[in-house]
């Protein structure tokens, strides 16, 4: 026999589904940034997460926002056939939080604009 769900039970299930969807999307951004750090710096996943966590704490920036910014910046750096020098990735990693704060103030997209330092 099928149980009848009242409106409150259905609303509760919808809230849980929405929360799980948000958590999965945020985790995906962190996993993507970790993968990029692993590739660029030759580190394992635990070290990549620790690096993200350290930058998040040092800059007082939410981890998910920092991960999203770093991933967008690394993608922007890597659009040509030849990858930039590792120092360009270092610069992006150490300054990503500045672009998040600037973008929040101006309402701009978080993609990295090319410069002399980043190519």
| Enclosing domain of residue 11 | 7-106
Residue 73 in any domain: the answer is yes
Residue 119 in any domain: the answer is no
> How many domains does the chain divide into?
1
At residue 95, the pLDDT reads 95
Residue 46 in any domain: the answer is yes
Q: What is the mean pLDDT of each run of 10 residues along the chain (119 residues)?
A: 67 88 84 96 97 96 95 91 90 94 59 43
At residue 67, the pLDDT reads 96
Polymer length of the chain: 119
- pTM (two decimals): 0.69
Residue 66: which of 6, 58, 47, 44 has the closest Cα? 58
Residue 58 in any domain: the answer is yes
């Amino acid at each position: 026999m099928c149980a009848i769900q009242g409106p409150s039970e259905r609303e509760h299930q919808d809230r849980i589904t929405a929360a799980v969807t948000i958590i999965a999307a945020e985790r995906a951004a962190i996993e993507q940034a970790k993968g990029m750090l692993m590739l660029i710096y030759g580190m394992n996943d635990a070290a990549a997460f620790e690096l993200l966590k350290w930058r998040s704490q040092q800059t007082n920036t939410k981890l998910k926002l920092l991960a999203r910014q770093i991933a967008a910046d690394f993608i922007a750096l890597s659009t040509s056939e030849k990858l930039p020098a590792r120092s360009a990735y270092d610069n992006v990693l150490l300054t990503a939080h500045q672009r998040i704060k600037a973008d929040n103030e101006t309402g701009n997209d978080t993609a990295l604009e090319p410069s002399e330092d980043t190519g």
